[in-house]
């Protein structure tokens, strides 16, 4: 999987990200609720490059209430105790953090060591900031969920 330089077809510029931005991770981010506004914009940019079935799933997920929002709303409104769900969601976020930290480590160890001048990742984004933003996004969601069920 690699990044292919942008190409122009009929006056339209296409970026050509690779398989690194797998649809399943995007769906997990959106459904779990760890996305932020800049990430939604990135997802919208990536949609044309994904398979039609994945586009459909992602659009459906983006138009639905996330698990985080649903559980926090119920918890806040005293509709029901969602402590177990919030605890599980925090564990899911931790799993996502583990994945993202490993991903960032692989980029640092393998891509950067091969050619320190490379700054664009396989998805066409500056990987230093892009990957750290994804890590920070998940940490923020995990921490907000933990604060809620830990009573802070």
pTM to 2 decimals? Answer: 0.78
pLDDT, one tens digit per residue, over 40-53 is 998 898 888 788 88
Average pLDDT over residues 105-130: 78
The b/e string for 56-83 (b: 16+ C-beta within 10 A; e otherwise) is ebbeebbeeebbbeebbeebeeeeeebe
The mean per-residue pLDDT over the stretch 79-91 comes to: 90
pLDDT band at 85 (very low <50, low <70, confident <90, very high): very high
Pairwise CA distance, residues 84 & 21, whole Å: 30
Task: Dig out the tokens for 144 from the structure.
Answer: 């907000």
Contact 34, 138 (CB under 8 A): yes
Mean pLDDT estimate for the chain: 84
């Amino acid at each position: 999987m690699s990044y292919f330089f942008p190409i122009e077809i009929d006056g339209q510029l296409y970026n050509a990200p690779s398989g690194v931005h797998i649809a399943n991770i995007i769906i997990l981010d959106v459904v779990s609720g760890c996305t932020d506004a800049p990430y939604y914009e990135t997802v919208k940019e990536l949609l044309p490059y994904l398979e039609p079935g994945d586009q459909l799933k992602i659009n459906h997920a983006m138009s639905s209430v996330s698990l985080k929002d649903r559980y926090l709303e119920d918890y806040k409104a005293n509709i029901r105790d969602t402590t177990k769900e919030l605890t599980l969601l925090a564990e899911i976020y931790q799993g996502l953090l583990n994945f993202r930290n490993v991903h960032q480590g692989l980029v640092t160890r393998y891509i950067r060591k091969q050619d320190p001048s490379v700054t664009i990742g396989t998805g066409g984004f500056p990987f230093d900031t892009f990957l750290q933003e994804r890590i920070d996004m998940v940490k923020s969601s995990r921490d907000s969920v933990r604060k809620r069920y830990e009573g802070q």
